[in-house]
Structure 1
Amino acid sequence: MKDRWARESTRYGDSDSSVYRIEHVTELQYRLTWAGVYKSGATGYFGPKTREGVRTYQRREKLRVTGVATHKTWAHLLRDTVRQRGRIPRVCKTNGWHACYDRSTHQVTLWRGGRIRNTWLVRGGAYGGYETRVGKSVVYYRDIDHVSGLYGSPMPYSQFFDGGQAYHGSSYMLNPFVGHSHGCINMYNEDARQLWRLTSKKRLEVRVYGAWD
Structure 2
Amino acid sequence: MRRTSGMRRGSVRRRSLAAVAVVAVTAGCTAQAVDGAAGDGQDGLGGKRPPPLTSAPSPSPGGKSPDGKSPDGKSPAGSEASPGVPSKGPSKAPAQPKVLLTKGDRGERVRDLQARLRQIAWFGGPGPTGSYGGSTVTAVKGFQAKRGLTATGETDEVTWQRLLDMTRKPGFFELYAAGDQPAAKPDPRCLQGRVLCISKKSRTLTWMVDGRAMSTVDVRFGSQYTPTREGEFSVYWKSRHHHSTLYDTPMPYAMFFSGGQAVHYSSDFAARGYSGTSHGCVNVRNEKKIAALFAQVRTGDKVVIYW
State the TM-score bracket (shorter-chain normalisation).
0.5 to 0.7
Residue 263 of structure 2 is matched in structure 1 by 167
Residue 54 of structure 1 is matched in structure 2 by none
Identity of aligned residues (%): 30
Residue 84 of structure 1 is matched in structure 2 by 184
Match of 1:153 among 219, 244, 249: 249
Decide whether the 8 Å contact of 1:159 with 1:168 is kept in 2.
Answer: yes
Residue 114 of structure 2 is matched in structure 1 by 40
- Relative distance call for 1:117 and 1:181 in structure 2 (3 A) is same
Q: Tell me, in whole angstroms, the C-alpha distance in 1 between the residues paired with 2:273 and 2:228.
A: 15
Shift in Å, 1:101 = 1.2
Decide whether the 8 Å contact of 2:183 with 2:206 is kept in 1.
Answer: no
Q: Tell me, in whole angstroms, the C-alpha distance in 2 between the residues paired with 1:190 and 1:177.
A: 19
Q: Which moved more, 1:119-128 or 1:201-210?
A: 201-210
Instruction: Give, as a single letter, the amino acid of the residue that structure 1 aligns with 2:257.
Output: F
1:125 aligned counterpart, secondary structure? coil
Where relative contact order (Cα < 8 A, 6+ residues apart) is larger, the structure is: 1
Decide whether the 8 Å contact of 1:40 with 1:49 is kept in 2.
Answer: no
Count of residue pairs brought into register by the alignment? 146
Q: Which has the larger radius of gyration?
A: 2
Residue 119 of structure 1 is matched in structure 2 by 216
Residue 205 of structure 2 is matched in structure 1 by 108
Please state which structure has a larger fraction of its residues in helix.
2
- Relative distance call for 1:175 and 1:122 in structure 2 (3 A) is farther
Instruction: Give, as a single letter, the amino acid of the residue that structure 1 aligns with 2:254.
Output: S
- Relative distance call for 1:136 and 1:44 in structure 2 (3 A) is same
Q: Tell me, in whole angstroms, the C-alpha distance in 2 between the residues paired with 1:185 and 1:90.
A: 20
Deviations 1:44-75 (A, max 9, x none): 48842569xxxxxxxxxxxxxxxxxxxxxxxx
Residue 6 of structure 1 is matched in structure 2 by none
Match of 2:282 among 176, 179, 185: 185
**What residue ranges of structure 2 are gaps of 5+ in the alignment?**
1-105, 116-123, 138-179
Please state which structure has a larger fraction of its residues in strand.
1
**What residue ranges of structure 1 are gaps of 5+ in the alignment?**
1-31, 52-77
Q: Tell me, in whole angstroms, the C-alpha distance in 2 between the residues paired with 1:137 and 1:100.
A: 11
Would you say 1:138 and 2:234 are equivalent positions?
Answer: yes
Instruction: Give, as a single letter, the amino acid of the residue that structure 2 aligns with 1:159.
Output: M
1:36 aligned counterpart, secondary structure? helix
Please give the TM-score of this superposition, normalised by the length of structure 1.
0.61
Alignment of 1:192-203 (within 5 A): 192-199=290-297, 201=298, 203=300
Shift in Å, 1:158 = 0.4
When the two chains are superposed, the root-mean-square deviation of aligned CA atoms in Å is 2.5
Residue 56 of structure 2 is matched in structure 1 by none
Decide whether the 8 Å contact of 2:183 with 2:205 is kept in 1.
Answer: no
Instruction: Give, as a single letter, the amino acid of the residue that structure 1 aligns with 2:210.
Output: G
Decide whether the 8 Å contact of 2:206 with 2:214 is kept in 1.
Answer: yes
Shift in Å, 1:175 = 4.8
